[in-house]
């Protein structure tokens, strides 16, 4: 296959987009104006009836004052729920009363109870099959299958009695590895009438009982089924927050180290304000890694490439956000490319200052890409996806309901590949933290030719390399010790795979062997990799209190061959930006949300008329 590299004009458009990265490197001075999410502001402005009800999600930054408490207890508030561990209230209120809430100083942010939808040969092409063969500590490596590690799946439910979720190995039994299930949709069921969650869970932790070709990444891991999408595949912010609060309380009880969220909604509100992003960050601070799909908005209906459509909660810096790769059905990786539908960075969520100026997060996302096109995995019995599209059924008519398979495509399928890989890493070394696992998965990734960091992040996940790091490494205090120095390459499907040897930061990158040979303070609970740098208007510098001196940081976006997008030009300071319009030297004007003349779009969040962000639907046909 001939690799198609970005054209010179595409490079200029990408550079123009990058110029606005610096706008995110400013302080966050909150005001009344920016306490209300843009979609809710639109509802206030467009409301024909001030008494019209709207369901809100209100994030507090302290205890409610007497005045706010009285308002919350008044007849103006209906259907009130308190998520105590998240300091969030969800309730119904009339449109005309919303701005009154924003006057209270303890109110951090007011968002809508938006809708969520699913974002829709793996073990060989990711290197998972190579783990028992080439990992340094073979006795230890043969046991690396995720055993003892819990993966929570926030989705449409899991068919717990499917054969792919039964105990496997020498102690195989009829017991399901789905050890706990709870419904947060109000439908009082935890099975999977929609069909998405079972498929996702099979990719992360299917046991291969139906043939090793369809085995999941971590077949020994146990699953926690938190159902947040209803029978139509739709959920709400409230249902997702309920599940996240449950995780904050119970993650230790069920040994949950990884959360998979193959769901999302376009990111509008800055991750600094969005209640969903704040909730998942609390999980990371507790030692739980959240893996989220990037979204399936990489192109528009005309097939034109779009940048900036990363979904929430994937815009949160602590989240490991995953895009999709098309493997073309082969085990070798030389023909792999980023799927055209996979959402590209940066995250265009924003906050608004008192003058009405938008300040974009512009976090570089996704961090990784993984196989996500036409993936075969577990099929939930009698699910609506297959009922509506019979071609998705990958089993013959005589196959039992607990053994059927189906095919789906999307970043929803890519995320559980990485979630399973994370479970293997957590099993390989008990002292690993979420930031360490995230860093090692990026460090060992393979950069795909023809794609820049805004498309592939650090690159294509390399599970063999990441687990080899884990099995050869011992964490002792502030040191990372190896049985021998790791070689920065892998062999997958008989082909040499070089490692990226670096990690992505919110607005740049970091490189250096000390990322894997020295324990960085950024790896500790409560920290993220971004804490290792100091940002100013135009550049990044090393934070020597967090990252060791042997690590090099940079603020340019690179392609896979190591060249900087835009011929090496550094990011310009915010003073160089005239409004939101950026003029590149060939005369193409790139405005937020305006399509450039060569068909590349830079998205700014597209609000539906009702103020609810449209979410991705399942990709049934792939590409």
Structural domains of the chain, ranges and CATH numbers in brackets: 33-113 (3.30.70.80), 116-441 (3.40.50.200)
Q: According to the model, what pLDDT value does residue 336 have?
A: 79
**Helix, strand or coil, per DSSP, at residue 354:** coil
**Between 379 and 52, whose confidence is greater?**
379
Q: Is the pLDDT of residue 50 over 90?
A: no
- Degrees, nearest 5: CA angle 102-108-112: 75
**DSSP track, 222-241:** EEEEEE-S-TTS-EEHHHHH
**pLDDT class of 539 with cuts at 50, 70, 90:** confident
Instruction: Measure Cα distances from 242 to 84, 90, 200, 503 in Å.
Output: 10, 10, 20, 32
CA 293 to chain centre: 4
Residue 396 neighbours by CB under 8 Å, 6+ apart: none
Judge contact between 605 and 267, C-beta under 8 A: yes
Catalytically annotated residues: 155, 196, 412
With tokens 């005589």, the residue in question is 398
Model pLDDT, residue 277: 96
Alpha-carbon distance of 492 to 193, in angstroms, equals 37
What does the pLDDT look like over 260-293, one tens digit per residue?
Answer: 999 988 788 999 999 999 999 999 999 999 999 9
* Full DSSP string of 122-176: HHHHTTGGGHHHH-SSHHHHTT-S-TT-EEEEEES---TTSGGGB--STT--S-B
> Which whole number is the average pLDDT over 306-310?
89
Give, in degrees to the nearest 5, the angle at Cα 230 between 219 and 198: 15
Burial class (CB in 10 A: 0-12, 13-18, 19+), 172: exposed
Q: Nearest-5° angle of CA 182, CA 184, CA 188?
A: 70
Mean pLDDT of 23-50: 70
Which residue in 357, 281, 347, 350 sits closest to 319, CA to CA? Answer: 281
Residue listed under structure tokens 């790139």: 590
Both tokens assigned to 322: 């995953």
Residue 51 has pLDDT above 90, yes or no: no
In order of 275, 324, 351, 405, 565, the CA distances from 561 in angstroms are 38, 20, 35, 39, 11
**C-alpha to C-alpha distance for 438 and 506, rounded to whole angstroms:** 13
Report the alpha-carbon distance of residue 412 to residue 620 in Å, rounded: 12
Which residues have CB under 8 Å from 25's CB, separation 6+? 507, 535, 536, 537, 574
Which percentage of the chain shows pLDDT scores above 90? 51
């Amino acid at each position: 296959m001939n690799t198609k590299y970005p054209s010179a004009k595409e490079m200029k458009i990408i550079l123009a987009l990058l110029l606005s990265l610096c706008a995110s490197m400013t302080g966050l001075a909150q005001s009344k104006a920016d306490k209300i999410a843009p979609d809710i502001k639109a509802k206030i402005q467009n409301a024909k009836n001030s008494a019209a009800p709207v369901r809100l999600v209100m994030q507090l930054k302290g205890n409610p004052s007497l005045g706010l408490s009285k308002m919350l207890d008044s007849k103006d508030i209906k259907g009130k729920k308190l998520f105590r561990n998240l300091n969030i209230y969800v309730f119904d209120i009339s449109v005309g009363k919303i701005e009154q809430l924003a006057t209270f100083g303890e109110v951090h942010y007011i968002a809508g109870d938006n809708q969520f939808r699913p974002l829709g040969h793996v073990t060989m092409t990711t290197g998972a099959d190579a783990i028992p063969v080439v990992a340094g500590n073979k006795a230890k490596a043969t046991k690396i299958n995720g055993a003892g590690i819990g993966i929570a799946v926030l989705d449409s439910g899991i068919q717990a009695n499917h054969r792919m979720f039964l105990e496997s190995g020498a102690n195989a039994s009829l017991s399901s590895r789905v050890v706990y299930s709870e419904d947060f949709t109000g439908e009082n069921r935890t099975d999977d009438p929609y069909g998405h969650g079972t498929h996702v869970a099979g990719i992360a932790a299917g046991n291969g009982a139906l043939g090793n070709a369809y085995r999941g990444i971590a077949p020994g891991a146990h699953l926690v089924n938190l159902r947040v999408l209803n029978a139509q595949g739709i959920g709400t912010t409230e249902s997702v927050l309920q599940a996240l609060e449950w995780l904050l309380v119970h993650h230790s009880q069920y040994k949950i180290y990884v959360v998979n969220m193959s769901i999302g909604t376009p990111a509008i509100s800055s991750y600094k304000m969005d209640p969903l992003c704040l909730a998942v960050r609390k999980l990371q601070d507790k030692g739980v890694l959240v893996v989220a799909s990037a979204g399936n908005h990489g192109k528009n209906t005309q097939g034109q490439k779009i940048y900036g459509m990363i979904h929430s909660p994937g815009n949160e810096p602590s989240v490991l956000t995953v895009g999709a790769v098309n493997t073309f059905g082969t085990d070798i990786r030389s023909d792999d490319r980023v799927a055209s539908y996979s959402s590209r960075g940066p995250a265009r969520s924003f906050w608004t200052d008192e003058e009405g100026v938008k300040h974009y997060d512009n976090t570089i996302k996704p961090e990784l890409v993984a196989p996500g096109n036409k993936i075969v995995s577990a099929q939930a019995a009698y699910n609506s996806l297959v009922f509506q599209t019979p071609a998705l059924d990958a089993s013959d008519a005589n196959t039992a309901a607990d053994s059927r398979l189906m095919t789906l495509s999307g970043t929803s399928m890519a995320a559980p590949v990485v979630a399973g890989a994370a479970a293997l890493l957590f099993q390989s070394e008990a002292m690993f933290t979420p930031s360490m696992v995230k860093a090692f998965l990026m460090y060992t990734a393979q950069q795909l030719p023809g794609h820049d960091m805004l498309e592939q992040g650090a690159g294509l996940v390399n599970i063999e390399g990441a687990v080899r790091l884990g099995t050869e490494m011992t964490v002792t205090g502030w040191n990372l010790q190896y049985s021998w120095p790791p070689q920065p390459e892998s062999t997958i499907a008989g082909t040499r795979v070089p490692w990226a040897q670096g990690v992505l930061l919110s607005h740049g990158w970091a490189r250096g062997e000390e990322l894997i040979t020295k324990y960085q303070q950024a790896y500790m609970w409560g920290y993220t990799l971004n804490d290792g740098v100091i940002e100013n208007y135009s550049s990044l510098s090393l934070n020597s209190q967090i990252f060791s001196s042997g690590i090099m940081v940079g603020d340019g976006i690179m392609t896979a061959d190591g060249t900087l997008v835009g011929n090496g030009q550094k990011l310009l300071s915010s003073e160089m930006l005239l409004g939101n319009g950026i003029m590149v030297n060939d005369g193409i004007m790139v405005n937020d949300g305006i399509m450039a003349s060569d068909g590349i779009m830079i998205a700014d969040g597209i609000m539906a008329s009702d103020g609810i962000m449209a979410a991705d639907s399942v990709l049934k046909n792939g590409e």
